[in-house]
Amino acid sequence: MKEAVALLRTNRDFKRTLYSGYFLYVDGYFIRNDGKFIESDNNGEMRLTEFALKNIDTGVLHFTEKEVIDNNANDEIIGYFSIDDVNKMKNIANNTNIDSLQYTSEGVNKKVFLQAHAEGKELQKRIADILNSLPNSGAKTLDLHMKNKGISNLKMAKIVNVSTQTISRMRNSDERINQEKTIIDICVALQLPGRLSLDLAEKLGMKFKNSENHSVYFMLLTSHYFDTVIDSKSYLNEKGFKLN
């Protein structure tokens, strides 16, 4: 995951691809946000479907790695390997070094993206329509999302570990709060599609920068928003991210 976060900071094509909403990060792959490719298990956790496992190359984003052997060769490995496997690949042999991930929206990724767009454009159109109908106010937008999800102030306060007064104030006043983690936790708790989460976060006062923390937040909201707040924190800690 660290490699993907680093890539977000340098590759606009990759960032635009995640913003599109067509791909989720599941089992280490950026895979199509499509019921044919992903499903939830009995515990509500996302996993790849049997179809996905048999047709993995048609549903995932492909990345390029430059392999340097004995400081001479400069071959490129293009594959649909799991991002989580990159570190394992780096240790294949002492004389083999694999540089940071590379991504292009052309070639095989263009084909995968167009397929995802063809089958997911109706959902993304509905999301776009929702975005256009939302108020400009962060407080009113938060209030609307919480009502639609049936989440009370008390429940949200318990989920994100703040007071009910804080949640009430955020729903009724556009006074900005300087608590980025609280804003992100609220967005994660609502489990909104990425573009809706980013919209809410920005209206509540988030100003996304090209930093590691903000790139983690961006990835969490756009492609890993199906986890609970607790599971998200555990996952990030497992991957080595200690966010404030």
Question: How far is 185 from 3, CA to CA, in rounded Å?
Answer: 23
Give residue 148's pLDDT. 95
Residue 3 · residue 83 · CB < 8 Å = yes
pLDDT digits (tens, 9 = 90+) for 116-168: 999 988 988 999 999 999 999 999 999 999 999 999 999 999 999 999 999 99
Same domain, 110 and 26: yes
Same domain, 143 and 193: yes
> Is 14 contained in some domain?
yes
| Whole-prediction pTM | 0.82
List the CATH number of the domain containing 182: 1.10.260.40
Q: Is the pLDDT of residue 94 over 60?
A: no
Torsion 116-105-191-141 (CA) sign: negative
Q: How far is the first Cα of the chain from the last one, in angstroms, to the nearest whole number?
A: 18
- Residue 199 burial (CB < 10 Å; 0-12/13-18/19+)? buried
Same domain, 91 and 6: yes
Domain count, the chain: 2
Q: Is the pLDDT of residue 197 over 70?
A: yes
Residues 176-184, mean pLDDT to the nearest whole number: 85
Domain boundary among 98, 122, 146: 122
Domain extent, residue 34, equals 2-122
Residue 102 is given by DSSP the state B
Nearest to 16 by CA among 106, 98, 79: 106
pLDDT band at 177 (very low <50, low <70, confident <90, very high): confident
Same domain, 100 and 146: no
Residue 177 · residue 183 · CB < 8 Å = yes
Residues pairing with 24 in the sheet = 31
> Is 130 contained in some domain?
no
Nearest to 22 by CA among 96, 90, 110: 110
Question: How far is 203 from 144, CA to CA, in rounded Å?
Answer: 13
